[in-house]
């Protein structure tokens, strides 16, 4: 089993932000994941160009979108998501899409991927437990 350790300024562990701007339980779960794994605090539900993104690390040009099945199922939602991703990539952003199950059932794997995407200054160091 593995855990993540903080290497930079992160969200306080255990503190819930009343004004975190989250719009869903999945977004709140993701913010708890960030706190628990000491990831740097993202901006929440902010605009990048014409697009409202779930989470943004502006300095790293990283966008995370959390996709619950209820709002992201079906052809139209699928195509809209890909169109947004392409537009954000054209602006130079890396886009990571996470499902409900990834956020809730695979938090260490998510933290590792985001730590790598955030780069060495903000990376999560993951250590093996004996």
Query: Confidence class of residue 24 from pLDDT cuts 50, 70 and 90?
Result: confident
Q: What does the pLDDT read at residue 127?
A: 35
Instruction: Give tens-digit pLDDT for 75-121.
Output: 787 888 899 999 999 999 999 999 999 999 999 999 999 999 998 76
The pLDDT assigned to 13 comes to 40
Cβ neighbours of residue 129 under 8 Å, at least 6 residues apart? Answer: 1, 2, 3
Q: What mean pLDDT is predicted for residues 51-70?
A: 91
Show the domains of the chain with their CATH numbers: 2-11+23-128 (3.40.960.10)
Better pLDDT: 27 or 17: 27
Query: Residues near 48 by Cβ (< 8 Å), separated by ≥ 6?
Result: 56, 63, 88, 91, 93
Q: What is the pLDDT of residues 38-59, one digit of tens each?
A: 999 999 999 999 999 999 999 9
The predicted structure's pLDDT at residue 71:
61
> What's the pTM value of the predicted model, to 2 decimals?
0.75
Closest by Cα among 39, 9, 14 to 125:
39
Query: What one-character DSSP code corresponds to residue 19?
Result: T
């Amino acid at each position: 089993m593995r855990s993540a350790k903080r290497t930079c300024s992160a969200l306080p562990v255990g503190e819930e932000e009343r004004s975190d701007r989250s719009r869903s339980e999945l977004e709140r779960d993701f913010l708890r994941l960030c706190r628990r794994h000491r990831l740097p605090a993202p901006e929440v539900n902010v605009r990048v160009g014409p697009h409202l993104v779930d989470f943004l690390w502006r300095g790293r040009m990283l966008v995370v979108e959390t996709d619950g099945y209820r709002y992201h199922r079906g052809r139209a939602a699928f195509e809209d998501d890909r169109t947004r991703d392409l537009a954000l990539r054209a602006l130079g952003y890396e886009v990571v899409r996470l499902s409900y199950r990834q956020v809730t059932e695979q938090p260490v794997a998510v933290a590792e991927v985001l730590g790598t995407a955030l780069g060495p200054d903000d990376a999560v160091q993951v250590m093996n437990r004996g």
